[in-house]
Each structure stands twice: as C-alpha cells, then as structure tokens.
Structure 1
Amino acid sequence: MSSRVLFGFHAVGVRLKTAPQSIVEIYADPSRRDARMRQFVARAGEAGVRLIEADAERLAKLAGTVGHQGVVARVQPLAQTHSLDDLLDGVEGPPLVLVLDGVTDPHNLGACLRVADGAGVHAVVAPKDHAAGINATVAKVASGAAETVPYFMVTNLARTMGELKERGIRCVGLSDDADKTLYQADLKDPLALVMGAEGTGMRQLTRKTCDDLVAIPMLGAVESLNVSVASGICLYEAVRQRGR
C-alpha cells in the first residue's frame, strides 16, 4: 500500500493521536524551536514515530506547498472499516449526513469536512466522478477532520440518495430558487443535507432526487455563499433544532 503525505500541525497531530502506527516518518524543521514545535516533537517521540530533520525547502517539496508549518508526515492510508450502510446501522439517534455534489476544489472540501466534524455529521457523501478526493491539501484545510469524518465516494449519487430515503432519511437540498428558507424547514428528523458546487449548484438528477429544497436568505448584494460556509449554516441550524 503506497504512502501519502500529510502536512501541518493539525492534520499530522490528529493522525499522531488516532493512528500513530500508520505514520511512516515525520519530517520537522529544526530551525523552528517554539513551544508548539517542541510539544509536537515530544508527542512524536512518545509515540515512537521516526522523526527526521528537514529544512523548509525540503519540506515544501514534500508537501507541494510552503504552507506546511514546518511539519510533514508520510503515512499509510487508513482503511475504511465500515460501509455507509454499516455506519448508519450503528448511529444512535437521528442520522445527520452531508451530501456534496460537484465539490471539486480541495480547499472547499477540506473546509466542508471541518465544519461537518464540528456539527457532529455522521458521514459525508460525494460522487466518485464529480468530486475532490482526500489529499494533503484537503487534510491541511480540514485541520484533522479528514481523519475523523467518514468520507464516502459513491458511483451513483442519486441511487445512494434513494437508499438513504429508503432508510427514512430525508434529503433536503440547498437551492437559491427554493420556495422556502432553511429556517422554515424541519431538520430534527433523520437528515441528509445536499449541497451543490458553487456557481452550478446541484446537478439536475440530484435536485430531482431531493425530498425538499430550501434557500439561505441572502439580504445583501452577494447572490450566493461559499459551499463550506453554506454547509456550516445549514448543519448548525440542524444542530440547533435538535437541541444538541
């Protein structure tokens, strides 16, 4: 199994906390001697992970960006231990799922995963052919959430949504031209919030498969929000209604 790269304190730190045995080695900038780096190096040492000194130039080459914060790790991919069905079978209380249709930008996906983790989302679902996969940039932006939120890429998104509906999970899509607002919708029951890509929105079949459509009220000159911001607003409205 080929290794992949994580970079940044949050992304590497969460892997160090949750699955240190999967870390092949960590590269750290020896010129950075602040408290955050000292604590990180100590944690890596306690976990028995191989630590290699590397300057900023080498770290940038490994990470593919200068935004590595002085920390880069080579890790083994974590096996997905559950299918979406198995995961939902084990959920206590009403499931909360985030469906992303056409989110191809790694920064947007990372931000969506981060807000999904914060809102207690049980799974994030996306199509295999119209979505970003998990890579180092996604993991960095997600600040560890790429390691904690199950992310399922499915062959047929509309069919998967149909299977969610068979489980009694309502699919509520966000659309600028919906007749009612997010705040008029009942989000307390089992729910899949469906978000489209910026600009194009949901694909037509995805839209048709939704049980209901809602809009976020836009009171200024801007016509739409970034998909991760919109996801956060919708998810936390569901959290508020559920009294969590």
Structure 2
Amino acid sequence: MPAKKSKKGPTKGSGGKGRRSLEGKSGTLPAEQRHWYEGKQRARAAKLPRTAGEAPARQQRRAADSDLLVGRNPVVEALRAGMPATRLFLANSLDQDERVTEAARAAGDRGIEIVEVTRAELDRRCESNGQPGAAHQGLALQVRPYRYWAPEDLLDRALESDTAPLIVALDGVTDPHNLGAVARSAAAFEAHGLVIPERRSASVNMTAWKTSAGTLARLPVAQATNLTRALEAYKKAGLFVVGLDAGGDTSLPVLELATGPLVIVVGSEGKGLSRLVRETCDVVASIPIGGAESLNASVAAGVALYEVARRRGAGSE
C-alpha cells in the first residue's frame, strides 16, 4: 500500500525566531563542561551495593514514602548536615550558581545519584510529592524517610556499651525543633539514644534534622508504639526511670542515682508528663528555677543531661 502523502508542505525551521533571546548566554554545553558533571561522575563511581541486611527493608519502601526537599538553600543545608538522600534532581536548563555546584559536589562525594530533568518534570515531581507550585529553583533532593530503631534494639545497644546506659525519652513533645535540640544535647553528653512515641510526637523530619546539626545521623532514635510499655521494659532491664516535671518529688541536683543505668523522661512545656508516663517513672525530679519561669523540653533535657554527665565524671575520679 503506497504511503500517504502529507497535505502539509515540507516542515520549515523557525530560522532562529523561536529562540529565547538570552543575551550573553551561549548554547547548550556538552555534559562534560557543565558545572555539576564532575559530581555526577563521582556519584556514579562511589555507588556501592547495599548490604544483604539492608536491601529487603529498603526495597519494601515505596517511592511515595520518600520526601522531596526543594530549593537551593534547603538542599545545600541538608547535604551539609549529612541528611540521608537517594537522588539529587537538577533542571537541565539550570543557571550556574555556587549553591548548585556545592550541591552536586556534595552529592557526588556521598554517592548520591544525580539526575538531570526538565523543569516541567521537576514541577510534576513536586506536585506528586504534595508540593504544588513549589519554588524548587531547579534543584531538589529526594531524602529517605528516617528509619527508627525498635525500643528493644536501643536498649540492647545501651546495655552493650562500655558506659552506663543513658537514654532520653520524650513524652508529648510535638515541636521538631525541640526534638532536634534534644538530640544535639543527647549526643554531646554521650546518651545512647532517644525514644519517642509513635503518636502525638514530633518526628525526625527536615526541621529536626537541621536543628540537630547533623547529630541525628549518628544518634539512634527509637519509636515506641506505647511509651509507657517501653519504659516498663527498660525498668525490668535494670534502668532507673527519672521523669522531669516542675512538680517533681525531688530536686534534680540531689538525685543520687545519676551514675547508674538511667532513662530521663522529658514532657512537653505546656502539659508536662502525661499521667501514665508519670506513674511509670521511678521518681519525678524538678529543676530549680525562678517561680514564674518555665523551661522548654530541649533546655530541660540539656540541664538534666549536664547534671548526669557532671555526676558521672565526678564518680569516675
């Protein structure tokens, strides 16, 4: 069957009339001349196979479970903080910018896949991630959801340590800034990890990660389905559970058990410890402050951790 002839005439070029008039900009550069190419090559070379123990859990996660961080400054800050990430998306019409260069270099050094996409494709990815109209500025980072520890695994880690177990539990702390700040203090004073409840609690998100200054990359956070039961299990394992509350039974400075295995439970600034958690604590201690003042969760945790570290240091002399 003979091919049909097109009724249209031969296709004509635009003669350059359809080009964007970008004065002072040259045509598309070869890949090897683009400022992120070196980072992309390093990422490809640095990619390592996942271990057998990690692969099944990661494979079970759907792509939709990943978070997309957008914008040049947020992406660079996340990479500087060491936030776990899987892909860096770059719009292929991206203008040169030192933040883009830094992001690509950091991604390449860490073996994060670098993917070039059109701006339209990046727009679609933002929309599918629940960020319609996000100002991605041609740069987006796909970050992995935080993988929480099980409370019993955190307990095992603490018991296997060379130092007396020290765990911080948060009860009803919903501000991720507080979670990140507590994590930073916990790492500074050598706590073995944090425990948070699954519900009515801040989660390890970008805000918490940034506030922690990257310490969440090395400090385990366990998530308990029931915080009271987790604390009871810790007590059975020999840990002494101390709750912090303004109406405490004793004053923190006179607490004599700081050198032993310990769990410090911090409540929210407004409501303090919940009833069941308070009843589960071995003792509830208060921090002496001015009568009209109150401390938020992160400050209270920092003070308590310092007191524990001071007593443990004095006990080892």
Q: TM-score, normalised by structure 1?
A: 0.79
How far, CA to CA, are the matches of 2:111 and 2:234 in structure 1? Answer: 42
1:12 maps to which residue?
A: 79
2:34 maps to which residue?
A: none
2:222 maps to which residue?
A: 152
> How many Å apart are 1:232 and its aligned residue?
0.6
Runs of at least 5 residues in structure 2 that lack an aligned partner in the other structure:
1-60
- The count of residues paired between Structure 1 and Structure 2 equals 235
The answer as to whether partners of 1:26 and 1:52 remain within 8 angstroms in 2 is yes
The answer as to whether partners of 1:12 and 1:144 remain within 8 angstroms in 2 is no
The answer as to whether partners of 1:12 and 1:72 remain within 8 angstroms in 2 is no
Q: 1:227 is matched by which residue type in structure 2?
A: A
Runs of at least 5 residues in structure 1 that lack an aligned partner in the other structure:
none
| Structure showing greater relative contact order (alpha-carbon pairs closer than 8 Å, 6 or more residues apart) | 1
The answer as to whether partners of 2:242 and 2:281 remain within 8 angstroms in 1 is yes
The answer as to whether partners of 1:11 and 1:143 remain within 8 angstroms in 2 is no
How far, CA to CA, are the matches of 1:63 and 1:146 in structure 2? Answer: 25
How far, CA to CA, are the matches of 1:109 and 1:170 in structure 2? Answer: 22
Aligned partner (choices 194, 199, 206) of residue 265 of structure 2: 194
Q: State the secondary structure of the residue aligned to 1:131.
A: coil
How far, CA to CA, are the matches of 1:10 and 1:96 in structure 2? Answer: 30
Per-residue Cα deviation, 1:32-75 (whole angstroms, up to 9, x for no partner): 538xx8666533333343276999xx8x99997x9x9x985212
Is 2:159 the counterpart of 1:86? no
How do 1:29-178 residues align onto structure 2 when only pairs under 5 Å count? 33=98, 41-49=104-112, 50=114, 73-77=141-145, 79-80=147-148, 83-178=153-248
More displaced stretch, 184-193 vs 146-155:
146-155
Q: 1:46 to 1:175 in 2, by over 3 A?
A: closer
> How many Å apart are 1:15 and its aligned residue?
2.8
Computing the radius of gyration over CA atoms, which structure comes out larger, 1 or 2? 2
Per-residue Cα deviation, 1:159-194 (whole angstroms, up to 9, x for no partner): 111111111110011111224221111211111001
Is 2:308 the counterpart of 1:241? no
Q: 1:102 to 1:23 in 2, by over 3 A?
A: same
Q: 1:127 to 1:78 in 2, by over 3 A?
A: closer
> How many Å apart are 1:5 and its aligned residue?
3.9
Q: TM-score, normalised by structure 2?
A: 0.62
Q: State the secondary structure of the residue aligned to 1:98.
A: strand
How far, CA to CA, are the matches of 1:124 and 1:54 in structure 2? Answer: 41
The answer as to whether partners of 2:228 and 2:276 remain within 8 angstroms in 1 is yes
Q: 1:204 is matched by which residue type in structure 2?
A: R
1:23 maps to which residue?
A: 86
Q: 1:47 to 1:124 in 2, by over 3 A?
A: closer
The answer as to whether partners of 2:166 and 2:261 remain within 8 angstroms in 1 is yes
Q: State the secondary structure of the residue aligned to 2:82.
A: helix
CA RMSD of aligned residues (A): 3.6
